[in-house]
Amino acid sequence: MPINITMPALSPTMEEGILAKWLVKEGDSVSAGDIIAEIETDKATMEVEAVDEGIIGKILVAGGTEGVKVNAVIAILLEEGESVGDIGEVKSAPILRQAQDEGLGVASEVASSSSSHLTSSSLPHPTSNSLPHPELVEGRGMADVMGKRIFASPLARRIAKEANIDISAISGTGPKGRIIKSDVEKAKISGVPTKSAGKTPAIASGMGSDAVKALYEKGTYEVRPNDGMRTVVAARLTEAKQTIPHFYLNVECNLDNLLAARAEINASAPKNKEGKPEFKLSVNDFIVKAWALALQKVPDGNATWAGDSILYHKASDVAVAVAVPGGLFTPVVRGAENKSLKEISEEVRDYAMRAKSKKLAPHEYQGGSTAISNLGMFGIKQFSAVINPPHGTILAVGAGSERVYADKGQIKTGIIMDVTLSCDHRSVDGALGALMLDAFKKMIENPVMMLA
């Protein structure tokens, strides 16, 4: 019997997404594992694989459609010997909110129950009679209710709502003048009335975008509209600094023993067929391992704030900040306390490579209780990082540099690295943070402890 191809959930909290494009067309034969479509999130483009073999009998959701709800039926797969005429009743799932507005001829939301079914003949058509009453559609503004119906994708409405933008003041460039995500993003740059005060939306400086531009001569700057990643980064960091009570602790770590151990381990690495080492540990690999073990030594610091409670995590799931064009990812090394330095090195390197091409799956960069941001490779000696919600801490690592220090009355020189711990004071107090840094420092300065 025909098989439903549904919109996948790319993360536990995902409710809808963008069906970016189809890589197959109706009538194409596919096998299990074939890539058939691409789904977009704010941070990544994910590939959708066929789970069965057969023929694409009918595509119900066109490529480029925003706001496709998770578990929506997006296509029908025919098994061997079946034809399009065999597509009869298809068990419905919660499906599109916005496809009617674009005139794509696919289903809008329908109530689902065990007896609800969707057939090819029952798909509603984009006529005025089939449009739901404006007051009953989630996310519609007053302009909708008062008779001026605003055609906008759910994603565009959500972004406008988050930015407090009056969506009725935006001109749409989508099909039939529909307001889409890019229209809202451009409006955030150029400035449109907000819902509350009728002024241009506030940006980082606290001034409207038009006011900022007025300070400079035309032609002396280039306008680059924010993409989805930069918008999310800006929103999350603003939330973090406004809602998380940060405090900062700093410690110096002597890297002499660590650098010697690293050199010895790398020198003993087996060679591949080409005569090259099979692995090469970085200082950052030791830092990830040391921080993971420090969280185990001081388990009360492995905590995240959850409003009415504090979550104390058993595993050291350490996120590692990876810079990419336009923003950053924080892929998570899960259970890092139980992984070898070689395993951590390989995992972080794989994450970094796939992050730069936006090929990370959401479960790979979501979660964790803490993070590490290392700017040492850029020559930065010391800095303080912003906590990435819902994490309780973030470790900011600077470059190691040769310095003079006193040791039991003697003047010595060594490679010293500054580390700054940012703590969420709601879940980690000052003394607790100090214990965490002390445990970390001992691991870094005596790396043999990491191998015990």
Catalytic residue positions, numbered: 425
> Cα(260)–Cα(282) distance, rounded to whole angstroms?
12
303-305/327-329 β-pairing: unpaired
Using the Cα atoms of residue 426, residue 427, residue 432 and residue 435 in order, give the sign of their dihedral: negative
Cβ pair 354, 320 in contact under 8 A = no
3-class DSSP string for 304-358 = EECCCCEEECCCCCEEECEEECCEEECCEECCHHHCCHHHHHHHHHHHHHHHHCC
Query: How are the residues of the chain apportioned to helix, strand and coil, as percentages rounded to the nearest 5?
Result: 30, 25, 45
390 upstream amide cis, omega within 30 of 0: yes
Longest distance between any two alpha carbons in the chain, whole Å: 90
Residue with tokens 């921080």: 291
Amino acid sitting at position 332: V
Cβ pair 130, 100 in contact under 8 A = yes
Orientation angle between helical segments 283-297 and 256-267, nearest 10 degrees: 120
Q: How many residues does the chain have?
A: 452
Burial 4-33 (b: 16+ CB within 10 A, else e): bbbbeebbeeeebbbbbebebeeeeebeee
